[in-house]
Amino acid sequence: MATPKSVIEMAKKAGAKMMDIKFVDTFGTWQHFSCPVGELTEDIFSEGLGFDGSSIRGWKSIEASDMLAMPDPETAFIDPFCAVPTLSLTCTISETGTLEPYSRDPRGIAQKAEKYLISTGHADQAFFGPEAEFFIFDNVQFDAKSNGTFYSVDSDEGVWNTGRDEMPNLGYKIRHKEGYFPVAPADTQQDIRTEMCLVMEELGVKIERQHHEVATAGQAEIDYRFSTLVTAADWMMIYKYVVKNIARKHGKTACFMPKPLFGDNGSGMHTHQSLWKKGKPLFAGKEYGGLSEMALYYAGGLLKHAKALCAICNPTTNSYKRLVPGYEAPVNLAYSARNRSAAVRIPTYSENPKAKRLEYRPPDPAANPYLAFAALLMAGLDGVQNKIKPGAPLDKNIYELPPEELKKVPNVAGSLSEALDCLEKDHAFLLKGDVFTEDFIDMWISSKRKEHDAIRLRPHPYEFFLYYDV
């Protein structure tokens, strides 16, 4: 266990000159400010560091803007991207005066979810293992004006570049849906992904594997070992930070948008979950897929609340361009062993009870991991508490079901607007234990509706192709 004293020793040993204070905003972006290392004392861990919360999206109004960043000693590392040796600390946000956790702070919400789990008596630990996918592009351009809009991404691996004059063009371009996973020279990014892995490991993130993903144009995946809810979310913030900065170091750009390319697979964040108590796994048993009854109820909770969960786990308009049939996206709400076309999959790689888990496949990497993991836990717990049965498993390829069978399988939300409507109607499960609050849900829905309207109100370039000559 790290302590304020051990963090101060770490900074001294590394010769740190600065201290970087990081925290996550409502929508999942790491924010930061820096102080000379002379400000690093044991007191800041209990008293916090003040800042203006009115400039953070979705947070305080200007007349009540003072907030405190409370550093967590467990998150300390020496930032690998700063020219001057710099200690990094991740913070939870508190109110001034009372030191009460701020109800809109995502990391604080995740911490409350962990405390609520213990209070139920069902389990004392929830483990999460996200598998975030992303693209490494060589160039990106976009603009949006009142009289025109465009975007363009490019990659040396992109199949559309087979005819580009590269002097010489060597022809090793990955075709659509054929990126899983050829060796070099088709895979041009082995070394850059390895560098990302090694830097993450230096920062305490336990890496399991890396590989090229299905799509053309540098789609990638790096998997890290499961951990407790808050730690897994902390690691996802480090993951994105490292991926983006290593890409930039190599003159490239990393993209976590769920669907940056038309006609190829998008990027998901399949999330593995399990509950434990007193060091023992609770999801292993003799029910379907080697699951326990508790695990099936947990799956029932995920499936019951799936459409509402979309508003948090698939929080962008772009998310629903990934959640369409034909691109390995789990559109249909069902559960199954091994079957990757089901929203809830039961991995069967190992018979070890410690490896028994559920994989929830709809989420994407645009999600704020603290909010997504907390919401998933609350949905699963609702299933356990109310003994929600998930129905019969679906072991067929859902994409090949005849229409009469497919009609019986419910779907995820089809748009951000639909997901927000569902969250508006179905969020009582999130309010238990004051984990999420009505204030937070209202703010989230209002903010996300503005995003939806921003897209809805703008002419789309393809509309000119379809309709200009009407």
Cα–Cα distances (Å) from 366 to 119, 133, 315, 343, in that order, read: 30, 10, 7, 18
Active site residue 340: yes
If we measure between CA atoms, which residue out of 378, 297, 383, 287 comes closest to residue 337? 287
Active site residue 104: no
Active site residue 25: no
Bridge-based pairing state of the strands 18-24 and 86-95: parallel
First to last CA, the chain: 68
CA-derived radius of gyration, the chain: 23
Q: Which one is catalytic: 79, 131, 234, 364?
A: 131
What is the spatial distance between Cα 358 and Cα 298, in angstroms, rounded to a whole number?
A: 9
Q: Which one is catalytic: 270, 272, 322, 345?
A: 270
Q: Which one is catalytic: 114, 133, 223, 382?
A: 133
Q: Which one is catalytic: 42, 43, 47, 52?
A: 52
Tokens found for residue 281: 């796994």
Q: Which one is catalytic: 138, 221, 328, 364?
A: 221
Residue type, 74: E
Q: Which one is catalytic: 32, 122, 176, 340?
A: 340
Q: Residue 26: which residues within 8 A CB-CB, separation 6 or more? A: 56, 57, 58, 59, 104, 106, 368, 443, 444, 447
Greatest CA separation found in the chain? 71
Active site residue 213: yes
Active site residue 361: yes
Q: Which one is catalytic: 359, 364, 382, 427?
A: 359
Active site residue 52: yes
Active site residue 438: no
Give the burial string for 68-107 (b: 16+ CB within 10 Å, else e): bbbbbbebbbbbeeeeeebbbbbbbbbbeeeeebbbbbbb
Q: Which one is catalytic: 213, 223, 234, 328?
A: 213
Q: Which one is catalytic: 361, 364, 382, 427?
A: 361
Task: Give me the active site residues, please.
Answer: 52, 131, 133, 213, 221, 270, 340, 359, 361
